[in-house]
Amino acid sequence: MSQVVFDPGMLLAILPEISLVALGIILLFVELLLPRDRHNVLGWITSLGLLFTIGISLAIGRPSEEPRLLWGGMIRQDWLGFIFKMMILFSAAVTALLVMELEGLGWRGETYLLMLASTVGMCLMASAADLIMLYLAIETTSIPLYVLSGFLTGDDKSAEAGFKYLLFGAMVSAVMLYGFSLLYGFSGTTSVYELASLAYQNNLSALVLFGALMLVLVGFAFKISAVPLHFWAPDVYEGAPTPIAGFLSTASKAAGFAVLVRVLLTAFPVISPFWGAILAALATATMTLGNVLALTQKNIKRLLAYSSIAHAGYTLIGVVAISTLGVTSVIFYLVAYIITNLLAFGVVTTIGRVTGSDDLASYAGLNRRSPGLALILLVAMLSLAGMPPFAGFVVKFAIFASAVESNLIWLAVVGVLNSIVGLYYYLIVLKVVYLYRSEDENKPLPIPRSYTIALAVLAVGIVLIGTVFAPWFSLSNAAAASLF
Amino acid sequence: MQFPILSVIVFIPIITALIILMIPAERKEEVRVTALAAASFAVLLSIWVYFSYDVQAGGYQFLDKVNWLPSLGISYQVGVDGISAPLVLLTGIVMFTGVLISWNIDDRPREFFTFLFILATGVFGVFVSLDLFMLFFFYEIAVFPMFLLIALWGWKETREYAAMKLTLYLFIGSVISLVGALAMYFTAGLGTFDMLAMEQAGFSATFQRIWFPFVFFGFAVLGGIFPFHNWSPDGHVAAPTAVSMFHAGVLMKLGAFAALRVGIMLMPEGAKFHMPWIILLTLVNVVYGAFIAMVQSDFKYVIGFSSVSHMGLVLMGFATLNREGLLGAGIQMFSHGIMTALFFAVVGMVYDRAHTREIPRLGGFRRIMPWVAVAFIIGGLVSMGMPGFSGFIAEFPIFMGLWNSHPWVAVAAIISIVVTASYIMRVVGRVFFGQVPEEFEGHVGDVTALDKLALVVLSAILIGVGVYPSLMVPLVQSGVNNVLRLLGGV
């Protein structure tokens, strides 16, 4: 391990993390000073603070063209990590806006603090280049999320969600750690970037490497909720407070993919045929299972949970392609997916807050009750289904293109067939919203201002990504190029 | 730079849709007027494009290109040739008349016109696109509003089933073609989705033979090819009038057109290899569709199956791969579009007033709504291919081409003309002539002035093209020349 020599650039590399910690400290003090009934101001502060973090990182914290290993090889400053950090921060900012009007959640400072802690972890995950750093980052991410999932202590479902998530998470984390330790034992290094060359020098057998990788993959698959480690997602999403479920399905999943892509492609290129085959099978199973099980869901949060499992499957196709276009499309896909899924969960939060129900049946008559909200849900659903002019279309196109480019036509076919199944249940949601009548359709459906802002920004973002996609694609491309 | 007229045509509907969304839901009259204004503007522009297309010069005109995603070679690229110019006009006309006929929709007209116009943008976009990615982009835009339009404003009995069936069928078709298109893109290795460049890619014969069926059938599903036609009568019947018009009139052409442009034009070798058996499928379309139409007791199903039969003729014309067949298919796309829009308008007008479409229960409507009866008879004559109407100009070349390439198929296909005559006569006789049943006496009235305007516009076009074919034949001919060039001068 190289000697740590301090230079100011190193601080810039972790600027988002520093800013987040500072924001957390500010929140602690503000909460003490605020009167009890003004606590949703904390949501505004968190959200604006996160946006400020994005702004300042874009202004002065951009990575240079040449990727650098910093802090003794703990983190790598490159465009891949940077783009993922921006996505994570954005997701957290939106979540803060959605959380703030929820009683029992948004009026307590702990919520925001836990969210920020988890966000710090995710940001570190995105740039971690060392197994130890990686493990710490993953734990920093997960532990606050366990708490947040079970935050509504009066609600049995929430408590169950938190506990389930914790138990599964802890078990998986132990398996993954075992994998890390094996990798260190065999290769003698914890650096992700040295692992490949050392393994090669030491003539490590592919089988050994593969075995250790399988253990590690367990942890990663859990994070991105890929089959067979997807089973926690529906229960946790259903029980957890809705914005938190949205946060889990976007930021946490993106961080998982950042790690997956980085570790697989830089540390294990030698055995890429092996893990490529495994991941192709996982992608197929994940897409199919997620979509098929989503068909029968009656609860919108469970439906979105299965849909998010399916989307992890689509995204995996890009990883399996093992090419620059593949990684580009993974990043591109995640950008679109995060915005779309946040919007979907945002609408669910808005409605659940008023009606107190997440059953699909309670969405009947929504178009007559609140045409604007119905339209926004339409945007989200069609984007998830992959319909133009929304973001979902062009990113799916990129993903399937990467599969065809790498001669994985069968995988592209599996993908498109799955998107047909997906279209079916997204259309069911729209049918309930637009066609069915309900007795409540004349009741008002108030939307707090923070929600309006969040939903409008996201909906516009979806259309923008779906129509003016060149800049987003180039950014993803730059990020993908920095990996290799 | 010249005025980007095609782009304006493409984006008028969607911009109007956004404007309509801003209007408060209860101000229904404003919504309708805005919709009509936009539709009139679009139809005027499409007429202008149609008549200012330079037939002598041929090729693609009104070109316009903007880079969309340069790193993958995706661009926004529009232009029309002799085949797509009539289809742009067709879309404009159907959109205009569709708005007229939907004037009385009272349940959420704002949403109705919004979705209808998004659909229109998708359709225009496909007809003018010269970029493969862009074609898919607009193709999908045209698919999803259909679901909501049918499910929300359709016929209560079957709308949920039909809407879902239709959407899934079309989506399956389009994604299958999408994989084929991606295979073409990477095999060509040109790094561009520009179809004009891909025409020159020189795909190997093996590649074309493997991929042609995927691409062709993926799109031809929307053209209603047997055995994937099943969605279409159900969809047509369940849809509200304007949507049936759009659907049978324009959307089915979208499928046929894309099958031609992407399937036949980019993979001519594959087309030559597979067409001999595909032509048999289209024969089933033509004859079987006509027979099924004959035994329907529901007025709208008669028209629905007649569309299957007539679209079969279009695809059959393509399948001949010769000059006459392609020419006839090109004209048939336009002629059938207007004709079937007229038919569905008539059915809608009868149903709205009689509240039934059971042919045995109807009768004597000639006396109640004479304009409608005349319009239906005109449409019927077109559909039988009578000289003096556009149907003749379209069907005669198709049969000529067929005779040249597959005489026996031609003999079999001509049976359909007799069958068509019989089901049209039956409807005319049972619905419009005879006694008015007592249940309709008194309370079933005539159609509105706007309805009459729509009927007159559609009928006039059918007769106009029929008596003065030079309005359309040279134009389509120039488009066909381009296809023949790619086919290697068959």
What's the CA gap between A268 and B31, in Å, rounded? Answer: 60
- Pair B133, A397: CB distance under 8 Å: yes
CA A420 to chain B, closest CA, distance in angstroms equals 6
Task: Test A412 with B182 for CB contact under 8 angstroms.
Answer: yes
Q: Residue A325 corresponds to which amino acid?
A: L
What's the CA gap between B363 and B361, in Å, rounded? Answer: 7
Site from B175, B207, B214 to mutate, A interface, most A CB atoms within 10 angstroms: B175
Residue A86 region, left (φ>0) first, then alpha (ψ -120 to 50), else beta?
A: alpha
Task: Test B168 with A420 for CB contact under 8 angstroms.
Answer: yes
Residue among B108, B140, B185 minimizing CB distance to A393: B140
What's the CA gap between B363 and B441, in Å, rounded? Answer: 11
What's the CA gap between A459 and A302, in Å, rounded? Answer: 22
Residue among A420, A431, A474 minimizing CB distance to B160: A431
Interior/surface letters A278-301, b for 16+ CB within 10 angstroms, e for the rest: ebbebbbbbbbbbbebbeebebbb
Q: State which residue of chain A sits closest to B165, comparing Cα positions.
A: A424
Domain of residue B336 covers: 5-486
Domain of residue A447 covers: 271-484
CA A393 to chain B, closest CA, distance in angstroms equals 8
From the centroid of its chain, how far is CA B282? 17
Task: Test A400 with B179 for CB contact under 8 angstroms.
Answer: yes
Residue A5 host element (H or E): none
DSSP assignment of A27-59, as one string? Answer: HHHHHHHS-GGGTTHHHHHHHHHHHHHHHHHHH
Task: Test B168 with A431 for CB contact under 8 angstroms.
Answer: no
Residue-level pLDDT at B490: 47
- Pair B454, B97: CB distance under 8 Å: yes
First to last CA, chain A: 22
Q: Which residues of A touch B67 (CB under 8 A)?
A: 470
Q: Which residues of B touch A412 (CB under 8 A)?
A: 179, 182
Q: Which residues of B touch A398 (CB under 8 A)?
A: 72
Domain count, chain A: 1
Q: Which residues of B touch A419 (CB under 8 A)?
A: 175
What's the CA gap between B13 and B17, in Å, rounded? Answer: 6
Q: Which residues of B touch A470 (CB under 8 A)?
A: 67-71
DSSP assignment of A404-455, as one string? Answer: HHTT-HHHHHHHHHHHHHHHHHHHHHHHHHHT---GGGGS-----HHHHHHH
Q: Residue A86 corresponds to which amino acid?
A: M
- Provide CB contacts within 8 A for A7, sequence distance 6+: none
Task: Test A470 with B137 for CB contact under 8 angstroms.
Answer: no
Sign of torsion over alpha carbons B313, B318, B319, B322 = positive
Q: How many CB pairs under 8 A join A and B?
A: 85
Task: Test B141 with A387 for CB contact under 8 angstroms.
Answer: yes
Task: Test A401 with B185 for CB contact under 8 angstroms.
Answer: yes
Domain count, chain B: 1
When pLDDT is averaged across residues B429-437 and rounded to a whole number, the result is 83
Strands B61-69 and A68-70: unpaired
Site from A435, A464, A475 to mutate, B interface, most B CB atoms within 10 angstroms: A435
Which tokens go with A371? 């045409």
What's the CA gap between A344 and A358, in Å, rounded? Answer: 12
Q: CA nearest A404: which of B147, B57, B183? A: B183
When pLDDT is averaged across residues B136-154 and rounded to a whole number, the result is 89
CA A375 to chain B, closest CA, distance in angstroms equals 10
What's the CA gap between B138 and B121, in Å, rounded? Answer: 8
In a domain, A176, yes or no: no
Q: Which residues of A touch B68 (CB under 8 A)?
A: 469-470
Rounded to 10°, the helix A206-223/A272-294 angle is: 30
Ranges B16-30, B116-130, B139-153, most confident: B116-130
- Provide CB contacts within 8 A for B25, sequence distance 6+: A371, B108, B110
Q: Which residues of A touch B133 (CB under 8 A)?
A: 397
Q: Which residues of B touch A404 (CB under 8 A)?
A: 179, 182-183, 185-186
CA A111 to chain B, closest CA, distance in angstroms equals 37
What's the CA gap between A342 and A319, in Å, rounded? Answer: 23
Task: Test B175 with A431 for CB contact under 8 angstroms.
Answer: no
| Beta-carbon count within 10 A of B328 CB | 29
What's the CA gap between B125 and B136, in Å, rounded? Answer: 9
The pLDDT > 70 percentage for chain B reads 99
| Residue stretches of chain A with pLDDT short of 70 | 1-5
Residue among B71, B141, B175 minimizing CB distance to A420: B175
Q: Which residues of B touch A371 (CB under 8 A)?
A: 25, 111
SS (HEC) of chain B: CCCCHHHHHHHHHHHHHHHHHHCCCCCHHHHHHHHHHHHHHHHHHHHHHHHHCCCCCCCCEEEEEEEEEHHHCEEEEEEECCCHHHHHHHHHHHHHHHHHHHHHCCCCHHHHHHHHHHHHHHHHHHHHECEHHHHHHHHHHHHHHHHHHHHHHCCCCCHHHHHHHHHHHHHHHHHHHHHHHHHHHHHHCCCCCEHHHHCCCCCCHHHHHHHHHHHHHHHHHHHCCCCCCCHHHHHHHHCCHHHHHHHHHHHHHHHHHHHHHHHHCCCHHHHHHHHHHHHHHHHHHHHHHHHHHHHCCEHHHHHHHHHHHHHHHHHHHHHHCCHHHHHHHHHHHHHHHHHHHHHHHHHHHHHHHHCCCEHHHCCCHHHHCHHHHHHHHHHHHHHHCCCCCHHHHHHHHHHHHHHHHCHHHHHHHHHHHHHHHHHHHHHHHHHHCCCCCHHHCCCCCCCCHHHHHHHHHHHHHHHHHHHCHHHCHHHHHHHHHHHHHHCCCC
Task: Test B164 with A412 for CB contact under 8 angstroms.
Answer: no
3-state secondary structure of A68: strand
Which tokens go with B265? 């034009």
Task: Test A400 with B144 for CB contact under 8 angstroms.
Answer: no
In a domain, A356, yes or no: yes
Residue-level pLDDT at A4: 62
Residue-level pLDDT at A459: 94
Helix and strand tally (H, E) in chain A? Answer: 21, 2
3-state secondary structure of A338: helix
CA B116 to chain A, closest CA, distance in angstroms equals 15
Q: Which residues of B touch A387 (CB under 8 A)?
A: 140-141, 143-144
Q: Which residues of B touch A331 (CB under 8 A)?
A: none
In a domain, A363, yes or no: yes
> Interface pTM (ipTM) of the complex?
0.90
3-state secondary structure of A69: strand
CA B68 to chain A, closest CA, distance in angstroms equals 6
Q: State which residue of chain B sits closest to A370, comparing Cα positions.
A: B25
Q: Which long-range contacts (CB under 8 A, 24 or more apart) does A212-217 make?
A: A212/A179, A212/A182, A212/A183, A212/A186, A213/A179, A213/A183, A213/A268, A213/A271, A213/A275, A214/A179, A214/A278, A215/A175, A215/A176, A215/A178, A215/A179, A215/A182, A216/A176, A216/A179, A216/A180, A216/A183, A216/A263, A217/A179, A217/A275, A217/A278
What's the CA gap between B268 and B263, in Å, rounded? Answer: 8
Q: Residue A449 corresponds to which amino acid?
A: R
Q: Which residues of A touch B156 (CB under 8 A)?
A: none
- Pair A119, A251: CB distance under 8 Å: yes
Task: Test A420 with B171 for CB contact under 8 angstroms.
Answer: yes
Residue among A388, A419, A430 minimizing CB distance to B148: A430
Residue among A368, A371, A423 minimizing CB distance to B168: A423
Average pLDDT, chain B: 88
Residue among B136, B141, B175 minimizing CB distance to A419: B175
Site from A431, A433, A464, A467 to mutate, B interface, most B CB atoms within 10 angstroms: A431
- Pair B203, B264: CB distance under 8 Å: no
Q: What is the pLDDT of residues B157-211, one digit of tens each?
A: 888 888 888 888 888 899 899 999 999 999 888 888 888 888 888 888 899 999 9
Q: Which residues of A touch B111 (CB under 8 A)?
A: 367, 371, 434
Q: What is the pLDDT of residues B285-295, one digit of tens each?
A: 899 999 998 88
